[in-house]
């Protein structure tokens, strides 16, 4: 039924027609020819200066890496893995892999060695691009266990002077090989690109998975390109826009923005100097579009709240007043009512006096559309950004649809929904409430896992495993993952994620974990924010030496209790947290407690902290802990302590 | 005395010859001789109060010894003031960080470039043409060689006094390197650092010593035996103003007197492992 308007829709934007024949490299070739030296493709801050890379530089670099890879023996369909920070070389490597008709595999930079080994081995990776010494060390330590891995390519020479293993080769040398090959076969690059087809596999993406081992999703060129086109139809970007790339490339959202959308629109991609300087660098760039998981926005909210706590009286009052105005205006907008003239005026004042400055500090001053997705975001955070005047939108998607399938439209935002499907995307709800998606971007299947593919892909419909419904306005509402909707013993349902995000709105709480399925009442495990709570303790002249000690202070318990009481307000009595405990450490992806995108792995923590759960549902005041923690470099520390359990005071 | 190899004259960058140092009647150094070869990391260890820092101060010119000579590149430098020695290429860090707390990281490091600045006050105040170009050249050096090496991009514009101790130590090393020294004196660079910072710092010292770009000879005063034995080409052991031994790390670890006086009978690598 959608076939007629397909062609109309396909060419209207940026003059690109996405046919089955089009591949990412072909589009790249076209864009590079079009823009050449005249336009900046990307920027990287290096040695304190933003250094531009034109489309011509981009093209040349990719070309010689491509030819170098072919010279090294890359054949069609071979896998090439990449690990490292966001930097131009990473994107070049990925583009070169695609140009050489290989398949790109991205790894999270902070992956532990076992995960790296699993992915490299499972994906049959032939070449691995690492950034510098750290990545090379990781790769070398698994080299013998991954027989298919042939070469490790590095680009940062720092610390590499004593490495002379045969399997190592620098990016410069690869490009040199490419130049040699070009002298022999001058049109090989163009010919190789020409051979590609849109249905070929472009990327092999490992999903983080809250439950089991990572699964490799196969995405075709066509999947990626249609995704970019559909998102850009909803919220068009300009070729003159700026985009900041600082989230891991191993996350589908970043791929969608940098490759799928970036290539079609041709906006400038900006890479920060170091991960530590990202926030500062984003402020310098002032991107026009932003896509980040909720934790980034939560972090921004926390930054503002902490600054607020630190500010002198007059500034605090100004902030309070302007946010109050902002909230009023946002509420009018949420209800799709027109904002009264006096509020518009006050909001204008508040914007000049406060909001503009805050947005500038957060790097949001020019942002037209900010997206969040990948996990649940609390309404408090959501309203906070709209009160500032940031057009924050929820999206819903997954790796298996190459990015997103549902998004809010400007002016039609409801914070408990994720919006409408993007063009050419159909959403269906099964009788059990499972969300099904069908679109040209739905993936090809899981790599070497036919059972999982069969379970997920049925007649072209993607079975997400998520539950939800479509509301009266046609918005999709996503429940938490099926197993995460809990019922108390008396049958009353509650959503743990909702409670958790509410608790996390407090700057003192970094992570929270709500328990109560098939229990008599709800309890919470709290991870305090070390920096913020630590600062609070400093001001109160409370001495502490470690996270563990700070978390167990009675004063800190009082503080957290206050935060929970705040979060409990306006909740039905049965859905309130009754008891809580401060954990002796923060949840960490390295301990498998969170996924790499910081989603709580409930089943795992339930098993790991069984003692704590038991203690929360008995009359104990204390729970004894005897355990080991694993650091990123593989070292372990032993913890032996008592955790205090606090029951909330009964309020009126 | 166990000097395994015959020392070539031109290989020696710095030499202390029978140096005596008294404070009143207290003898801090009683006839100490040290030969530091070009391109090596030469460690000086010894218990507290052994005279290690006094020795460093003599090399750097803060103290002048009552007796004995100091040679740098075969030239006697006894009479030179600290700043003149800095111009010769001797740079140092201090046991307790001596940074300018109110200034930014960048300014602290810039200060180390001072001796390489050619323009004076007048041309600096006009700041055109040559002076501006010179400034940019120096900034480029600082950014590309030092800030990148020490991984301090994120604190470039922060006042040093606000930084944690470990980073302050790094800034101090940065300032010492800005001098582009040939001889770098590191006075307890690892004291007070946590394990991660120790590993970073050890890596930086190795980089500076081994990297083609730098090739700086280092004198390292340190208590962390694990690091000393791993990094050093030679180790000099000092005990109350007297040298016990000057040899390779292996020789030092097996020397009975060193074990008795300083290391104890325990496993040498017990520290920090």
Q: With the C-alpha atoms ordered A383, A387, A388, A391, is the resulting torsion angle positive or negative?
A: positive
Q: Please report which residue ranges of chain B form alpha helices under DSSP H.
A: 52-60, 82-88, 105-112, 121-126, 130-141, 148-150, 165-178, 195-210, 225-231, 249-253, 256-258
Q: Which of A44, A47, A280, A635 to mutate to test the interface with B (most CBs of B within 10 A)?
A: A47
C-alpha A232/C-alpha A234 separation (Å) is: 5
Give the pLDDT of residue A634.
59
Is a pLDDT exceeding 50 seen at residue A5?
A: no
Q: Spell out which residues of chain B touch residue A277, defining contact as CB-CB under 8 Å.
A: 153-154
Q: At what angle do helices A55-72 and A188-195 cross, to 10 degrees?
A: 90
Fold held by A20-197+247-267:
Rossmann fold (3.40.50)
Mean pLDDT, range B187-216, rounded to an integer: 90
At A424-453, the pLDDT tens digits run 999 989 888 889 999 999 999 999 989 889
Closest CA to B64 of B52, B88, B80, B48: B80
Asked if A161 reaches chain B (Cβ–Cβ under 8 Å), the answer is: yes
Residue B246 and residue B237 in contact, taking contact as beta carbons nearer than 8 Å: yes
At A589-636, the pLDDT tens digits run 777 888 777 778 888 888 888 888 888 888 888 888 887 776 655 567
Is a pLDDT exceeding 60 seen at residue B50?
A: yes
Give the pLDDT of residue A81.
95
> What are residue A62's phi and psi, to 5 degrees?
-65, -40
C-alpha A72/C-alpha B9 separation (Å) is: 49
Q: Which of B141, B148, B207 to mutate to test the interface with A (most CBs of A within 10 A)?
A: B148
> At A559, is the pLDDT very low, low, confident or very high (cuts 50, 70, 90)?
very high
Check residue A650 and report its DSSP letter: P
Give the pLDDT of residue A279.
87
Q: Which residues pair with A125 in a beta bridge?
A: A79
At A70-127, the pLDDT tens digits run 999 999 999 999 998 899 999 999 999 999 999 999 998 878 788 889 999 999 999 9
Check CB contact under 8 Å for A161 and B212: yes
In this structure, of A51-65, A208-222, B223-237, the range with the lowest mean pLDDT score is A208-222
A159 min Cα distance to partner chain B (Å): 7
The beta-carbon neighbor of A48 closest among B143, B149, B211 is: B143
Check CB contact under 8 Å for A48 and B156: yes
Say how far residue A6 (Cα) sits from the centre of its chain: 30
Assign A125 to helix, strand or coil.
strand
Residue A476 and residue A436 in contact, taking contact as beta carbons nearer than 8 Å: no
Report the percent of chain A where pLDDT is more than 90: 47
The beta-carbon neighbor of A273 closest among B139, B153, B207 is: B153
**CATH number for domain A291-481, candidates 3.40.640.10, 3.40.50.12780, 3.30.450.70, 3.75.10.20:** 3.40.50.12780
Check residue B115 and report its DSSP letter: G
Looking at chain A, the domain(s) classified CATH 3.40.50.12780 span: 20-197+247-267, 291-481
Count Cβ atoms below 10 Å from residue A78 Cβ, excluding itself: 19
Check CB contact under 8 Å for A47 and B143: yes
Q: Does domain A485-647 have CATH number 3.40.50.11540?
A: no
C-alpha A449/C-alpha A215 separation (Å) is: 8
Looking at chain A, the domain(s) classified CATH 3.30.300.30 span: 485-647
Q: Spell out which residues of chain A touch residue B156, defining contact as CB-CB under 8 Å.
A: 48
Mean pLDDT, chain A, rounded, equals: 87
B145 min Cα distance to partner chain A (Å): 9
Is a pLDDT exceeding 60 seen at residue A639?
A: yes
Mean pLDDT, range B100-113, rounded to an integer: 94
Q: Spell out which residues of chain A touch residue B143, defining contact as CB-CB under 8 Å.
A: 47-49
Asked if A636 reaches chain B (Cβ–Cβ under 8 Å), the answer is: no
Q: Which residues pair with A395 in a beta bridge?
A: A407
Give the pLDDT of residue B204.
93
At A175-199, the pLDDT tens digits run 999 999 999 999 999 999 999 999 9
Give the pLDDT of residue A9.
47
At A407-430, the pLDDT tens digits run 999 888 887 788 899 999 999 898
Q: Please report which residue ranges of A12-87 form alpha helices under DSSP H.
A: 24-35, 55-72
Integer angstrom CA distances of residue A399 from A255, A453, A480, A595, B109: 10, 13, 17, 14, 46
Collect all residues with Cβ–Cβ distance below 8 Å to A491 and sequence separation of at least 6. Answer: none
Check CB contact under 8 Å for B144 and A47: yes
Q: Spell out which residues of chain B touch residue A274, defining contact as CB-CB under 8 Å.
A: 151, 153-154
Q: Spell out which residues of chain A touch residue B208, defining contact as CB-CB under 8 Å.
A: none
ipTM over 0.90: no
Closest CA to A425 of A455, A409, A404: A404
Residue A404 and residue A397 in contact, taking contact as beta carbons nearer than 8 Å: yes
Vertex A622: Cα angle to A620 and A623 (nearest 5): 100
Mean pLDDT, range A327-342, rounded to an integer: 90
In this structure, of A9-23, A193-207, A505-519, B235-249, the range with the lowest mean pLDDT score is A9-23
Give me the total of CB pairs closer than 8 Å, taking one residue from chain A and one from chain B: 30
C-alpha A627/C-alpha A375 separation (Å) is: 29
Residue A80 and residue A249 in contact, taking contact as beta carbons nearer than 8 Å: no
Is a pLDDT exceeding 50 seen at residue B268?
A: no
The beta-carbon neighbor of A274 closest among B153, B207, B212 is: B153
Concatenated DSSP letters of B21-76? EEETTEEEEEEEEEEEETT-EEEEE-STTSSHHHHHHHHHTSS--SEEEEEETTEE
Give the pLDDT of residue A71.
94
Q: CA-nearest residue of chain B to A277?
A: B154
> At A480, is the pLDDT very low, low, confident or very high (cuts 50, 70, 90)?
low
Check CB contact under 8 Å for B154 and A158: no
Check residue B112 and report its DSSP letter: H
Give the pLDDT of residue A432.
84
> What are residue B244's phi and psi, to 5 degrees?
-90, -50
Give the pLDDT of residue B3.
46
The beta-carbon neighbor of B154 closest among A49, A159, A277 is: A277
Asked if B252 reaches chain A (Cβ–Cβ under 8 Å), the answer is: no
Structure tokens at A600: 């709580």
At A282-298, the pLDDT tens digits run 999 999 999 988 888 98
Mean pLDDT, chain B, rounded, equals: 87
A631 min Cα distance to partner chain B (Å): 11
Residue B155 and residue B219 in contact, taking contact as beta carbons nearer than 8 Å: no
Q: CA-nearest residue of chain A to B148?
A: A47
Concatenated DSSP letters of A299-358? HHHHHHHHHHHHS-HHHHHHHHHHHHHHHHHHHHHHTTPPPPHHHHHHHHHHIIIIIHHH
At A376-405, the pLDDT tens digits run 777 888 889 999 999 999 888 888 888 889
Give the pLDDT of residue A600.
84
> At A531, is the pLDDT very low, low, confident or very high (cuts 50, 70, 90)?
confident
Give the pLDDT of residue B7.
57
Structure tokens at A76: 């069609």
Q: Which of B137, B138, B154 to mutate to test the interface with A (most CBs of A within 10 A)?
A: B154
Asked if A273 reaches chain B (Cβ–Cβ under 8 Å), the answer is: yes
Count Cβ atoms below 10 Å from residue A617 Cβ, excluding itself: 14
């Amino acid at each position: 039924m959608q076939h007629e308007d397909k062609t109309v829709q396909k060419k209207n934007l940026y003059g690109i027609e996405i046919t089955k024949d089009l591949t990412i490299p072909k589009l790249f070739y076209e864009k590079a020819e079009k823009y050449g030296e005249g336009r900046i493709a990307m920027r990287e801050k290096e040695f304190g200066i933003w250094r531009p890379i034109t489309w011509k530089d981009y093209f040349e670099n990719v070309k010689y890496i491509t030819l170098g890879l072919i010279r090294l023996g890359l054949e069609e369909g071979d896998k090439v893995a990449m690990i490292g920070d966001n930097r131009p070389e990473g994107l070049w490597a990925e583009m070169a892999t695609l140009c050489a008709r290989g398949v790109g595999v991205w790894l999270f930079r902070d992956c532990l060695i076992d995960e790296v080994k699993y992915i490299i081995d499972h994906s049959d990776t032939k070449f691995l691009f690492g950034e510098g010494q750290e990545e090379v060390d990781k790769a070398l330590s698994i080299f013998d266990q991954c027989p298919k891995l042939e070469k490790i390519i590095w680009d940062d020479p720092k610390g590499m002077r004593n490495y002379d293993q045969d399997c190592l080769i620098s990016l410069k040398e690869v490009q040199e090989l490419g130049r040699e090959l070009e002298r022999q076969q001058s049109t090989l690059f163009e010919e190789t690109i020409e051979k590609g087809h849109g249905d070929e596999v472009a990327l092999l993406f490992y999903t983080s998975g809250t439950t089991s081992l990572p699964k490799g999703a196969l995405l075709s060129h066509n999947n990626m390109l249609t995704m970019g086109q559909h998102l850009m139809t909803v919220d068009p970007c300009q070729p003159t826009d700026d985009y900041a790339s600082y989230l891991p490339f191993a996350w589908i959202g970043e791929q969608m923005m940098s490759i799928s959308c970036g290539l079609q629109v041709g906006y400038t991609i900006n890479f920060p100097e170091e991960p530590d300087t990202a926030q500062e660098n984003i402020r310098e760039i002032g991107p026009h579009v932003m896509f980040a998981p909720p934790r980034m926005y939560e972090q921004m909210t926390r930054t503002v709240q902490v600054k607020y706590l630190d500010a002198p009286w007059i500034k605090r009052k100004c902030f309070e007043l302007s946010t109050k105005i902002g909230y009023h205006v946002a509420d009018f907008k949420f209800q799709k009512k027109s904002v009264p003239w006096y509020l518009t005026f006050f909001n204008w004042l508040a914007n000049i006096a406060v909001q503009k400055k805050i947005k500038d500090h957060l790097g949001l001053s020019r942002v037209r559309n900010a997206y969040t997705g990948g996990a649940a975001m609390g309404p408090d955070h959501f309203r906070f950004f709209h009160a500032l005047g940031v057009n924050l939108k929820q999206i819903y998607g997954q790796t298996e649809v190459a990015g997103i399938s549902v998004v809010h439209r400007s002016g039609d935002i409801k914070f408990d929904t994720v919006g409408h499907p993007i063009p050419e995307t159909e959403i269906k709800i099964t009788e059990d409430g499972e969300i099904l998606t069908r679109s040209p971007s739905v993936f090809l299947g899981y790599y070497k896992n036919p059972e999982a593919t069969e379970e997920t892909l049925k007649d072209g419909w993607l079975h997400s495993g998520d539950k939800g419904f479509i509301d009266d306005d046609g918005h999709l509402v996503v429940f938490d993952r099926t197993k995460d909707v809990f019922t108390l013993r008396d049958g009353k349902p509650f959503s743990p994620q909702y409670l958790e995000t509410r608790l996390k709105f407090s700057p003192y709480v970094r992570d929270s974990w709500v328990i109560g399925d098939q229990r008599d009442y709800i309890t919470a495990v709290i991870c305090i924010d070390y920096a913020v709570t630590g600062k609070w303790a400093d001001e109160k002249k409370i001495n502490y030496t470690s996270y563990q000690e700070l978390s167990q202070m009675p004063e800190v318990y009082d503080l957290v209790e206050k935060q929970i009481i705040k979060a409990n307000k306006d909740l039905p009595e049965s859905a309130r947290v009754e008891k809580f405990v401060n954990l002796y450490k923060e949840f960490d992806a390295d301990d498998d407690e969170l996924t790499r995108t910081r989603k709580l792995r409930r089943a795992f923590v339930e098993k790991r902290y069984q003692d704590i759960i038991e203690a929360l549902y008995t009359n104990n005041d204390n729970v004894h802990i005897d355990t080991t923690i694993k650091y990123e470099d593989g070292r372990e520390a032993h913890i032996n302590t008592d955790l205090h359990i606090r029951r909330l005071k009964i309020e009126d | 005395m166990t000097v395994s190899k015959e020392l070539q004259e031109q290989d020696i960058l710095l030499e202390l010859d029978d140096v005596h140092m008294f404070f009143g009647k207290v003898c801090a150094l009683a006839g100490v001789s040290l030969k530091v070869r070009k391109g090596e990391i030469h460690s000086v260890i010894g218990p507290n109060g052994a005279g290690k820092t006094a020795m460093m101060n003599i090399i750097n010119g803060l103290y002048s010894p009552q007796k004995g000579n100091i040679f740098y590149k075969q030239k006697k430098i006894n009479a030179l003031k600290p700043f003149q020695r800095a111009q010769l290429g001797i740079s140092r860090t201090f046991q307790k960080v001596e940074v300018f707390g109110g200034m930014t990281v960048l300014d602290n490091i810039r200060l180390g470039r001072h001796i390489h600045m050619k323009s004076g006050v007048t041309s600096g105040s006009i700041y055109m043409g040559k002076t501006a170009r010179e400034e940019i050249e120096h900034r480029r050096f600082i950014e590309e060689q030092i800030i990148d090496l020490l991984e301090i991009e994120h604190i470039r514009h922060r006042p040093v006094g606000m930084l944690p101790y470990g980073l302050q130590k790094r800034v101090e090393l940065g300032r010492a390197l800005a001098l582009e020294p040939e001889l770098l004196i590191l006075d307890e660079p690892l004291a007070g650092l946590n394990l991660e910072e120790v590993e970073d710092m050890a890596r930086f010292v190795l980089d500076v010593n081994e990297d083609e770009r730098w090739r700086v000879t280092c004198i390292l005063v340190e208590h962390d035996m694990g690091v000393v034995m791993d990094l050093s080409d030679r180790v000099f052991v000092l005990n109350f103003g007297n040298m016990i031994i000057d040899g390779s790390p292996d020789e030092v670890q097996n020397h009975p007197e060193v074990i008795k006086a300083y290391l104890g009978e325990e496993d040498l690598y017990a520290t920090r492992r």
